[in-house]
Structure 1
């Protein structure tokens, strides 16, 4: 289940909530009980590093150029 960040517009209280995709967004603030919660934008929990992934990264021997083998000359 994904984590969602919420922030209260009344008291600025912020917190994370684990919810299903199908769950309705939370509305009531747990700190002040005001119905003024908004979902906050957060950064991703992972980072893709390096120069990228290529067809040849995990292949050995004759399997190195599979895309080129399909082309007709």
Structure 2
């Protein structure tokens, strides 16, 4: 369930509360009974892992046509390096 931040417009009391998306927004401050407003801030996003690559979100059909030049150039360089070592 998401956590929502509220701040009272009268006394300035700020707090966070865990609510369901279907729950109604709070309207009364628990300290003074004043009007509450939701506080919208930046969304925290954390990317964990070894990294993200340009080809991670591509399907095989799209990358097959775009990567054909890369695979042919890499195989050509592999072939030329193999022939130069022989």
TM range (shorter): 0.5 to 0.7
Q: CA separation in 2, counterparts of 1:32 and 1:17? A: 17
Aligned residues: 61
In structure 1, stretches of 5+ residues that fail to align are 58-64
What's the RMSD between the two structures over aligned residues? 2.7
**Higher-helix-fraction structure:** 2
Greater Cα radius of gyration, structure 1 or 2? 2
Deviations 1:27-69 (A, max 9, x none): 01011122x00001122132459x9642259xxxxxxx82232
Taking structure 2 as the reference length, the TM-score comes to 0.57
Structure 1 residue ranges, 4+ long, deviating more than 6 angstroms after superposition: none
Aligned to 2:40: 41
Taking structure 1 as the reference length, the TM-score comes to 0.66
Structure showing greater relative contact order (alpha-carbon pairs closer than 8 Å, 6 or more residues apart): 1
